[in-house]
Amino acid sequence: MRPFAAFGLLALLAAAPALAQDAGQIARVQRGESCPRCNLFQADLSNRTLKGLNLSGSRLRQADLSLAIMNRTSFAGADLRDVNAYGGVFSSATFSRANLTNATFVGTYLQGANFAGATLTGANFSGAEMNHARGLTQRQLSGACGDPATTLPAGLRIPACR
């Protein structure tokens, strides 16, 4: 193996653990502690009541937030790609500047949630209650999908999921 190729492989392997989840940080959040900028990749936070946490800037990609109650929690600037938040309650939560690409918010309660500047591409909001959500634009919603049971602020619409 060439020296440069070996060095590149070693550098890649050394960087890999930085991308894995941090079990200690996940345990902190499961106990109800805030954890801004934490690595919560694939964390299981389902069926938990975790109100008012600061998870801003955290990596929650592929996390399970289904049936969680996370009112007033800040996800500002967080990575929520591919998250499952089925049936969760996120009233007055902050998703500003968060990446919710391909997230599932089916049947989720999002009244008063702030979506200013959030990326919603591919997000599924079927049956979500979000008629009092803030910061939503038609441009954001055009990249997401929902169904006839999805409630939105007046004047906004969402394409049907296929």
Total number of domains constituting the chain: 1
CA 65 to chain CA centroid, Å, is 8
Residue 144 lies in a domain: yes
Indicate whether 135 pLDDT > 80. yes
**What is the rounded (10 degree) CA torsion for 81, 77, 68, 21?**
60
Of the chain, the percentage scoring pLDDT greater than 90 comes to 86
Give the pLDDT band (50/70/90) at residue 20: confident
Domain of residue 142, residue span: 43-162
Residue 28 lies in a domain: no
Mean pLDDT score, 119-147: 98
Residue 55 lies in a domain: yes
In sequence order, what are the residues at sequence separation of 6 or more whose Cβ sits closer than 8 angstroms to the Cβ of residue 24? none
Residue 90 lies in a domain: yes
- pLDDT on residue 19: 62
Residue 125 lies in a domain: yes
Residue 38 lies in a domain: no
Residue 36 lies in a domain: no
Give the pLDDT band (50/70/90) at residue 157: very high
Using DSSP, state whether 17 is helix, strand or coil.
helix
Q: State the Cα–Cα distance between residues 82 and 73, nearest whole angstrom.
A: 19
State the CATH number of the domain containing residue 109: 2.160.20.80
Residue 25 lies in a domain: no
- pLDDT on residue 131: 96
Q: State the Cα–Cα distance between residues 114 and 159, nearest whole angstrom.
A: 20
Mean pLDDT score, 79-93: 98
Backbone torsions φ then ψ of 39, nearest 5 degrees: -95, 95
Computed over every residue of the chain, the mean pLDDT equals 92
Indicate whether 116 pLDDT > 50. yes
